[in-house]
Structure 1
Amino acid sequence: MWTDHAIWWHVYPLGFTGAERALADLTDEPHHRFGRLEDWLDHAIELGCSGLLLGPVFASETHGYDTIDHFRIDPRLGTDEDFDQLVAAAHARGLRVALDGVFNHVARSFAGPHEWFRRTDEGLASFEGHEHLVALDHDLPAVRQYVVDVMTHWMARGVDAWRLDAAYAVPASFWRDVLAEVRARYPEAWFFGELIHGDYAAYAQESTLDSITQYELWKAIWSSLNDGNFYELAHAVERHDQLLDTFVPQTFVGNHDVTRIASQLSDERHVGHAVAILFTIAGVPSVYAGDEFGWQGVKEDREGGDDAIRQQFPDKPGKPDPLYQELIGVRRRNPWLVRARTTVEHLSNEAVALKSSAEGQSLTLLLNVSDEPYHFPLEVPPHSWKLTT
C-alpha cells in the first residue's frame, strides 16, 4: 500500500492563504488563492514529505468546518479549475493529496435538504453545543449516498485519501457502508478518522477505517517531556504497539486543532525529542505546516481561538529546522518503521531507550531530557539514533 511510505504535510488552506474570515466578507468571487499553496509544494518535497493533507476546501460559512456545499470549492480559495491545477501540481511532484471530509455536521445554511438534519426533542441536533453546526442524520440512506457521491466526485478529480472529521460522532456502521461503496470504485484510496478518545481498535474494526488519529500518543509525547516522566510515554507506546494488531495509527505532534508543539512544550529544547519519537515509531506521520519552522501558537477556547495556530504563510518558504529534514530522512530510509513494534529497553524519569523492530531490522532511539549526560546501560546497535538536550 502506498501509505506505507506516506509522510503528510498538513495544511489548513483558509488560514495558510490569508482568506477572509467568512464567506460573506468576500466582495468579489472567486479569489484564486490556491496558487499560494502551489508555490510551497517544492518545500514539502525538500522537507521529505510525500503527501499533501489539506484542511477544509469546500464552500463554508467561516472556518471550513461549517460546510455549505461539499461539491463546491470555497470561493475564498478559488475555483474547481484552481483545485484541479493544485492536485496536478502535487501529483507531478509525487505528492498524494488528502481532503478533509466534514460529514458529521454542516452549517445551518447547508445546500442540502433540511430533512437530512438529526433532530432531538429540543429541535435540530447541534454539534457539541455549537448552535451554528447541525448534525446530519446518519441513519438516512440519502445521507449515506450523499457522502459516497461527494467522495467519489473528488476522487474522480484526483484525490487519493480522506481525513474524516469528527468520526467519533458518527456511527461506525455508517463509515463501513460508505467506504464499501467508495472502495469498490477506488480500491487504492485511504481513509482515516478523527478519534480523540475511546476504543480506537474496536472503532477501526467496525468502521473499516484504514487508520485513526493517535491523540493518546500525541498527549503522552508532550506531557512526558514537560513533566520529565518517560513512564507516561512508555505506557502510551505499549498501548500504541497493541493497536498495530488492528491498524496503523495516524501519528502527529501537531495539527490544526491543538496548540503548536513549540508552544505546548515548556522547554523548546524538547521539540527535537518530540519529533524524534514521531518519526521512529510505527504510524503514518504528519507534519503540521509551520511546525518545521518552530512556529508558536496557542489554541484558546473562545471565538477565534484557533487563529493563532492557523496562521497565514508568507509567499515563499524559508529554511526549515534541519532536524525535521534529518529525522524525516531517517524515516524515509527505513520505511519498515511504519509497522515496527517498539519496546522500552531502558527507562527512568528523564531517560528512555526505545527500540523499534520489523522485517529483521531495528532502530534504537535514546532520549535524555536532563541537563546532565546520561549513560544508558545497554548495548546500542549500530543503527541507532541518539538525541539529547
Structure 2
Amino acid sequence: MSPSWVEHAIWWHVYPLGFAGAPVRDWDGTSLAEEHKLLKIVEWLDYALELGASGIALGPIFASEGHGYETVDYLHIDSRLGTDEDFDTLVEAAHSRGLKIMLDGVFNHVGQRFPRFQQELRDGEGSWFHIDRSGDRPSHRNFEGHDELVTLNHGNPEVQDFIAQVMNHWLDRGADAWRLDAAYAVPPAFWNTVVPRVREKHPDAYFLGEVIHGDYAQIVSRSSLDSVTQYELWKATWSGISELNFFELSHALGRHNDWLDTFVPATFVGNHDVNRIASTVEDSRHLAHALVVLFTTGGTPMIYYGDEQGFRGVKEERVGGDDDVRPEFPMTKDQLDPSGWPTYHLHQELIGLRRRHSWLHTARTETAELTNTAMLYRAHDGSHELHVALNLGDEAVDYRMSGDILAGHASVRSGWVTVPAHGWVVTG
C-alpha cells in the first residue's frame, strides 16, 4: 500500500545535469561545486507549483563520471551540481511549498571508478561485483553492454546493507521518495530484502521502480515496491495517436485496468530516455489528446520538464544522442519561447481537472465507442465517472454523453455532444 500522499501526487521530472547546464561529456573531473547549479531548480519551484505539480522527481544527482548513471559516490552530491548543503537548501525550499522530492537511485550498477570496484580489481578479493579472472585480464558483468556500467552483485548481503544505508541516508536528509533506476534488471528478491528495511525507518516513503516490460503486477508483488513505470500505456498513447489507431490505445487501457487491481502505475508521456511527445505526435493538433489520456486515466502522472512547454527532441544512437531530450532550461520564464505557453496552460487545465476529481488516481477506463480515429471512454471508480471523447479525424463525431463540459470544446444538443475535427472533450 502506497503512502496516502501519493494519491494526490503529480511529479515534475527534472534531469538535473542537463537542466542546470552542467557538463556531461568531456568533463575533466574539476569540481564546479562553487557554481551551485543544483540551486537553479529552486528558482523554478514556483513554476512547477503553478503548473500543478506536487513533487519534483530528480534524475541522478550523486557523484558520477558522466551522464549521472555511473555513480562513484552515493553519499555526496555531484560536484558539477554543487554541494550536499545545496541539496538541503533544495529540500527546504521544496517542502516549504508543499512539494515532495524524489531521488533517482542507480542501484543496479556503478561507475568503473567506484572505490569498492577498484579495490576488488586491485586486490583480487571481494564479491560486490561479478568479476571474471579466467582470461588475460579481469572482466566484469556490465549493464546492457555498456562496459562503463559495472553491475553490482545483488545477492551479496553487504551490497544489500549498503544500498539500504544509502536510501536511509537521503531520506534522513529530507527526500520523500526513490525512483529505482533499471529496477527490471535487479532481482525482485533484492528489493524485497532492502525496501522493507528502509520502510521500517521511513514508513511514509514511496518506492517507484523503472520497469519497461514484463508482468508489472508480479514484479510489484515480488519486489514490495509501491509502483513501476507504465511503459505499455506510454507506447500505446503516442503510437495510437500518431498512427491513427485508437484500437491499440483501447487495448492498453484494458491491460492498465488489470494493473490497477494490484498497484497504481506511474504514468507519463515523456521522460529522459524517450523522444519528446511533441516530436513523436507529429500533428501538433493531437498533442492535447496524449495529455488528456495522461490526466484522465488511473495512475500517478509524471511530467518531464519542458514537455509542459511543448519542447521537441529526438534521441539518436550515438555519443551524446540523449542531449536533445535533456536540454538546459533557461534562467528565467521570460526566456522561454512564447509559443510554449498554450501547452503549459493546457497542462494547468487538465491538472486542475485531475485535482477536482482526485478519485481518478485509481480510476478504471471502459471503452464505449471506438474507431481508428475516434474514441469515447468512461473513467470511473464505482462512485464517480467522467466521459472522455477523442477525435483525430477530419470530420466531427457525435456521441451521447451525459454531464457538463469540464474541459475541451464541443457542441451540446439534446443529449448529444458533437466533438469537432481533431478535438476532444471531457464531460461529467
Normalised to the residue count of structure 2, the TM-score between the two structures is: 0.88
Hey, what does 1:54 align to over in structure 2? 58
Hey, what does 2:16 align to over in structure 1? 13
Aligned equivalents of 1:371, 1:383: Cα separation in 2 = 22
| Alpha-carbon distance, 1:273 to partner | 0.3
Aligned equivalents of 1:184, 1:201: Cα separation in 2 = 23
Contact 2:108 2:181 (8 Å CA) reproduced? yes
- Change over 3 Å in CA distance of 1:26–1:110 after alignment to 2: closer
| Alpha-carbon distance, 1:291 to partner | 0.4
Hey, what does 1:169 align to over in structure 2? 185
Name which one, 1 or 2, has greater alpha-carbon Rg.
2
Aligned equivalents of 1:15, 1:80: Cα separation in 2 = 19
Identity among equivalent positions (%) equals 52
- Residue by residue over 1:20-71, the C-alpha shift from the partner in whole angstroms, topping out at 9 and shown as x without a partner, is 1248435444131122111000000000000000000000000000111110
- Residue by residue over 1:312-367, the C-alpha shift from the partner in whole angstroms, topping out at 9 and shown as x without a partner, is 01001244531111011111111110001110011111011121111511111110
* SS across alignment from 2:41: helix
State which of 376, 379, 386 in structure 1 corresponds to 2:401: 379
Contact 2:350 2:407 (8 Å CA) reproduced? no
Number of positions where the alignment pairs a residue of Structure 1 with one of Structure 2: 388
State which of 223, 229, 232 in structure 2 corresponds to 1:213: 229
The aligned runs of 1:240-251 (5 Å cut-off) are: 240-251=256-267
Hey, what does 2:98 align to over in structure 1? 94
The aligned runs of 1:1-389 (5 Å cut-off) are: 1-22=4-25, 24-30=27-33, 31-113=35-117, 114=120, 115=126, 116-119=128-131, 123-317=139-333, 318=336, 319=341, 321-358=344-381, 360-376=383-399, 378-382=400-404, 385-386=407-408, 388-389=422-423
| Alpha-carbon distance, 1:276 to partner | 0.5
RMSD of aligned C-alpha atoms? Answer: 1.5
Where in structure 2 are there 5+ consecutive unaligned residues? 121-125, 410-421, 424-428
Aligned equivalents of 2:111, 2:22: Cα separation in 1 = 19
Aligned equivalents of 2:153, 2:290: Cα separation in 1 = 39
Aligned equivalents of 1:359, 1:94: Cα separation in 2 = 30
Aligned equivalents of 1:27, 1:203: Cα separation in 2 = 41
Aligned equivalents of 2:394, 2:368: Cα separation in 1 = 21
Aligned equivalents of 2:378, 2:408: Cα separation in 1 = 12
Aligned equivalents of 1:273, 1:329: Cα separation in 2 = 16
Contact 1:281 1:356 (8 Å CA) reproduced? yes
Residue 129 of structure 1 aligns with an amino acid whose one-letter code is G
Contact 1:363 1:383 (8 Å CA) reproduced? no
Aligned equivalents of 2:379, 2:212: Cα separation in 1 = 25
Where in structure 1 are there 5+ consecutive unaligned residues? none
- Residue by residue over 1:98-137, the C-alpha shift from the partner in whole angstroms, topping out at 9 and shown as x without a partner, is 0000000111111235431123577310100001111000
